[in-house]
Amino acid sequence: MGTTTGTAAGTRDTTGSPRSRLLGVVTLLAVAVLGVLAFVLTDPDVRIHPTTGEEFGQFDAVRMLYVHVPLAVMTYLAYGICAVASVGVLVKRTPWWDVTAHAAAEVGTVFCGLVLVTGSIWGRPVWNTWWEWGDVRLMTTLVLFLMFTGYLALRRTTDDPRRQARRAAVVALVAVLDIPLVNRSVEWWENRTLHQRSTIGELKIEDLTLFTLFFGFVTAGLVLAWLLLHRFRVGWLEQAALDHGVAAAIAERHAETDDAEVLRSVGERAAGEGTSGDGEPGS
C-alpha cells in the first residue's frame, strides 16, 4: 500500500535541487575539461614500427576511446543498477525500486546507444569497418541494447502500474541473466575479438593519456549520476501525480453517490420492495 499517501517530492515543480544543480555544473565542467583533454592536450596514437620504421597506430581515432570506454563501463553499471532494483521490485514491491529500475534502464539505454555509435565511428578508421560481426563485446552490447529497447517498449504500454512494474522487472532480470550466454556464444562463434587486438595496454602509454582515460571515467560517472538523479525524480513526480490522481478520483467517485439518479433508484427500492428491512434508507 502506501501509494495513496503523499510523497516527499509531491510539492516540487522541478526536478532540480541546490545539490543536484551543483552536481550539474560540476558535470558540465567535467565534460568541457574532458573535451579539451581528449581533443587538444593529448597526442594522437602514433607508433613507429621497430624494423620498417613505418608509422602505425590509431592516430586521432584514439581520442574516441576516452569517451567510448567510460561510456561502455557506465552502461553496464546502469544496467546493473536496473537489475538490482528489479529484484527489489519483485521482493519489496514498493514504487521506489520500480522508479529506480525504470530510470536506470532508460539512462542505460541512452548510454548503450552512444557506446554503439562511438564504437562504430572509432571502428571505421581503426578496423576499417563500421560494424564487425563476431566481435564479442560489440555483439553482446548490441543484444543488450535490443533487449532493453524491448524493456522500454513494455514500459510504454498502458497497463496497471503494479503489474507493469513486475513485468518490467522480469524482463530486466532475464536480459541481465541472458548476457553471459550471449557473451559466451559470440566468443565461441568466431573465437576472435577485435577488441583484444586494441586494448588499452597496447596503446603508447603516457601519463596524460592515462589521466585522460581516468578523467573520462569520472566524467561519464558524473553524467550517469546526474541523469539518473533527474530521471528518478521525474519518475517519482509521476508516481506522486498518480497518487494524487487516485485520491482525486476517489473524491470524484464519492460525488457520484450524491447523483440524483442514484438517490432516485434507492428511493425506488424503498418504495417498491417491502422485503428489505435491514438497510439504512437515505444514508
**Nearer residue to other proteins within complex by CB, 42 or 109:** 109
* 68 SS3 class: helix
- 43 near other proteins, judged by CB under 8 A: no
Q: Where are the alpha helices (DSSP H) in the chain?
A: 18-36, 62-92, 95-127, 136-155, 161-190, 194-197, 207-257, 260-272
**Nearer residue to other proteins within complex by CB, 1 or 40:** 1
- 3 near other proteins, judged by CB under 8 A: yes
In degrees, to the nearest 5, what angle opens at C-alpha 151 toward C-alphas 145 and 157? 140
| Phi-psi map region of 45: left, alpha, beta (phi>0 left; psi -120 to 50 alpha) | beta
User: Which residues from 113-172 bind other proteins, rule CB under 8 A?
Assistant: 143, 146-147, 149-150, 153-154, 157-161, 163, 166-167, 169-171
What φ, ψ does residue 45 adopt, rounded to 5°? -85, 95
- 257 near other proteins, judged by CB under 8 A: yes
What is the radius of gyration, based on Cα positions, of the chain?
28
What φ, ψ does residue 265 adopt, rounded to 5°? -70, -35
Among 13, 54, 207, 273, binds other proteins (CB under 8 A): 273
**Nearer residue to other proteins within complex by CB, 80 or 245:** 245
Residue 48 β-bridge partners: 55
- 254 near other proteins, judged by CB under 8 A: yes
- 1 near other proteins, judged by CB under 8 A: yes
User: How many residues lie near other proteins (CB under 8 A)?
Assistant: 60
Among 182, 213, 220, 240, binds other proteins (CB under 8 A): 182
How many CA atoms within 13 Å lie on the side-chain side of 44? 10
**Nearer residue to other proteins within complex by CB, 54 or 261:** 261
Fill in the amino acid letter for 191.
N
What residue ranges bind other proteins (CB under 8 A)? 1, 3-4, 90, 143, 146-147, 149-150, 153-154, 157-161, 163, 166-167, 169-171, 173-175, 177-178, 181-182, 184-186, 188-189, 242, 245-246, 249-250, 253-257, 259, 261-262, 265-266, 269, 273, 275-283
